[in-house]
Chain A
Amino acid sequence: GAGVSQTPSNKVTEKGKYVELRCDPISGHTALYWYRQSLGQGPEFLIYFQGTGAADDSGLPNDRFFAVRPEGSVSTLKIQRTERGDSAVYLCASSRDATGGSPLHFGNGTRLTVT
């Protein structure tokens, strides 16, 4: 596709439920990132994939959060037993490679609201 695609664009769920957020990166991009942005704040790093493997998951807040990228393309961020504090915009980004010289291309995000 032309850009990074995230689905759904909005998700409302009840406290305690399980949610999955999907990210389709730009074709051919090997690096994929998940960030979380709260109102009035800059994005906060969650996890980064190089190919199929999670190269750095140090930003995942706790074990309720998990992400996969089984074929090195599409990624899914999974949140178990959602809490109201999980409400935020979840942003996905991809880059051509992870050499530090490739800019990140962001999707429009998934706005998650936990009621």
Chain B
Amino acid sequence: KQEVTQIPAALSVPEGENLVLNCSFTDSAIYNLQWFRQDPGKGLTSLLLIQSSQREQTSGRLNASLDKSSGRSTLYIAASQPGDSATYLCAAAQGGSEKLVFGKGTKLTVNP
């Protein structure tokens, strides 16, 4: 059974800092790995999707990497801004299934 873990559970940084959020998964037979952000009381917003054949994806100040052999993905946020404050969730899609298994998220606070 796939399990997804995110460390740390919460992170507070000053504005402008570069930061890394970590995600690990137990079963490397994944279909894809997705990163989402969730603002309080809202649904999830897709940030990046890395297919199993890819190593990384970039969008603006965000870069996500995938290492299936070690069961890890990282989300790198460059030059953080207060507007980046949210909960970041990673989710793994198991091979042959459209079912996403989510971690509990990392709550990020960027202080002005």
A55-B98 contact given A40-B104, A42-B105, A101-B32, CB 8 Å threshold: yes
Q: Which of A42, A98, A100 contacts B51 (CB 8 A)?
A: A100
Which listed segment binds B: A12-20, A62-70, A74-82, A106-114? A106-114
What's the dominant secondary structure at chain B's contact region?
A: strand
For B112, list chain A residues within 8 Å (CB): none
Complex: how many Å from CA A108 to CA B40? 10
A106 and B45 within 8 A (CB): yes
A58 at the interface (CB under 8 A from B): yes
A44 and B102 within 8 A (CB): yes
B98 and A33 within 8 A (CB): yes
Q: Which of A4, A56, A103, A105 contacts B98 (CB 8 A)?
A: A56
Closest Cβ of chain A: how far from B18's Cβ, in Å? 24
B64 at the interface (CB under 8 A from A): no
For B104, list chain A residues within 8 Å (CB): 40-42
A103-B4 contact given A41-B104, A42-B102, CB 8 Å threshold: no
Chain B 46-91 residues near chain A, CB threshold 8 A: 46, 49, 51-52, 89, 91
Closest Cβ of chain A: how far from B90's Cβ, in Å? 9
Chain B interface category by residue count: 20 to 34
For A107, list chain B residues within 8 Å (CB): 43
Shortest Cβ distance from B41 into A: residue: A108
A100 and B32 within 8 A (CB): yes
For B4, list chain A residues within 8 Å (CB): 42
For B105, list chain A residues within 8 Å (CB): 42
Shortest Cβ distance from A44 into B: residue: B102
Chain A 42-99 residues near chain B, CB threshold 8 A: 42-45, 48, 50, 55-56, 58-59, 91, 93, 98
Chain A residues within 8 Å of B, Cβ to Cβ = 4, 31, 33, 35, 40-45, 48, 50, 55-56, 58-59, 91, 93, 98, 100-109
- 17 more contacts with CB within 8 A, not counting A106-B44, A107-B43, A108-B43, are A40-B104, A42-B89, A42-B91, A42-B105, A43-B44, A43-B89, A45-B101, A56-B98, A91-B44, A100-B31, A100-B51, A100-B52, A100-B98, A102-B49, A105-B46, A106-B46, A109-B43
